[in-house]
Structure 1
């Protein structure tokens, strides 16, 4: 394999995303799947336990040497914080308190945001809606890399660097690709997060604060859990734009690996997505899937057919008219 990727553009398609039709077909055959929609009563308790766990961890690292602060940030805190971002992903679909309690879901997302150290839950919500509605949409879906990313990060070494820089690209890309007005809820999110960060610093000093933020950044870069960023929508097989992952890390990531099922039924909590696959097995068993996020990252770096350009892309004319 050479060091240079073989793609020089996205895979442009002129069809609608496949999830809409498959959802209709599955519901026509298995209407009982509708019963899986709605809030997950256990989610809020799991999230509260995770926030408490990280609070205790902040206390425990306050007197450690810096090298151990960073080690535990990557090995433990980063795992919890990355898992928490996926809880926030679930909360963004209103599955903590239901669609009728949208405000409580927003506020609870801010609470789940606390151990991460960087305020983002409210901004994530407003962009993630577009990711589902306009999957792979040019100028609309900010999950897609930019053309600069595709052209510059085109060698083995640069793809590895790109994986390290994933937190920066996920934070800054929306401001360039599809900027949206700043909202009052984002101000609230920032205010609550800064107050919590100041409280941690006031109580126990800088090390717990670094533990939180460094863990979040490191676990979104080169980390086994971060393989889901690439596994979900990168074209590991021509013509397929969404992939599921059926492996053990689903246990600590709110089943985000059931990504095909999630895009088919975004209002079903992650805890119930395995039931979707079980009920409608004939719709999913024939689709390609991943079994290792580590293998996903390895192949992304070393396979010349993979890179930031290995994504399906489409235009949504109606959306642009709006």
Structure 2
């Protein structure tokens, strides 16, 4: 990993230092604010998964797993990206922060495991201390980079990616459990118990296995690698403008998102359109499947291919 030392308070430099698309195009700020359609799209996805739970109760176990990987897991992965959007308060706006947190828990229900409250807690650090050693838990540990260094091991790392994302914060940057996390877990447990009571074990396996499989070795999961792994020296954040953005809340517009995290995913294509000269010339990915292929078989890329920063944090008296 490349290590950069920064003082606290300075936002980490990205692909091109000094880029200020918002200064040249102040109209971009008009795109900030809540997305009124987001809550209806998410509600439709949650209801679709509840209907799927009813439908899979009588299918064979083989088809439970197949449908989980090809259908349910795709919806659940998309819901994790909706939760990502909601963590920036774009469902109800900054003045309704609690409504955003509660709605994220609702979006969490089909995922099967409590996720939304913990994600919000750590995602703030990802934006504030991008690549921060011991702060940004999105960065793999040195042990991961050292061990998962061959094509076969990197393939295993991709498959186990959801487990690393869940456990890495407990090792890298453990934080006290918040009341929101307790509420998130309680709400999720009640929902899982109700589904089990109504339709049995198969819907629970359908939901949880889909979440795990589609956050691991799956085409949509290419965005985990595409976003901040240094495929080209000196470039750590990349966008992807392909069709999978249609089912991932435009998470592929990642340079745009880090420039303007308060803009909902649905409006990020407008950011690129308004300030095209700031984004069109930057390195970008054209395929998340190709990203996964290159990650596995290119010896120069692996879990270690990240920029790591050491922040000199100043304690508040």
Superposed CA offset, 1:262-311 (max 9, x none): 00000000000000000011111110000100000000000000001100
Structure 1 110/150 Cα, relative in aligned 2: closer, same or farther at 3 Å?
A: same
Superposed CA offset, 1:164-199 (max 9, x none): 000100000000000111011111000000000000
Structure 1 189/274 Cα, relative in aligned 2: closer, same or farther at 3 Å?
A: same
Query: Which residue of 1 is the match for residue 177 of structure 2?
Result: 182
RMSD of aligned residue pairs (Cα, Å): 1.4
Distance 2:74 2:224 in 1: 14
SS in 2 for 1:315: strand
Q: CA deviation at 1:26?
A: 1.4
Query: Which residue of 1 is the match for residue 225 of structure 2?
Result: 230
Query: Which residue of 2 is the match for residue 32 of structure 1?
Result: 27
SS in 1 for 2:313: helix
TM-score normalised according to structure 2 size:
0.96
Q: CA deviation at 1:25?
A: 1.8
Give the alignment partner of residue 212 of structure 1, picking from 207, 211, 235: 207
Distance 1:113 1:76 in 2: 17
Q: CA deviation at 1:99?
A: 0.4
* Structure 2, unpaired ranges of 5+: none
Q: CA deviation at 1:19?
A: 5.0
How many aligned positions are there?
312
Query: Which residue of 2 is the match for residue 165 of structure 1?
Result: 160
Give the alignment partner of residue 137 of structure 2, picking from 131, 138, 142: 142
Query: Which residue of 1 is the match for residue 300 of structure 2?
Result: 305
Query: Which residue of 2 is the match for residue 85 of structure 1?
Result: 80
TM-score normalised according to structure 1 size:
0.95
Superposed CA offset, 1:102-142 (max 9, x none): 00000000000000001010000000000000000010000
- Regions of 4+ moved over 6 Å: 20-24
Tell me, yes or no, if the aligned pair for 1:23 and 1:264 is still in contact at 8 Å. Answer: no
Tell me, yes or no, if the aligned pair for 2:14 and 2:237 is still in contact at 8 Å. Answer: no
Q: CA deviation at 1:14?
A: 4.0
SS in 2 for 1:229: helix
Tell me, yes or no, if the aligned pair for 2:15 and 2:235 is still in contact at 8 Å. Answer: no
Structure 1 304/24 Cα, relative in aligned 2: closer, same or farther at 3 Å?
A: closer
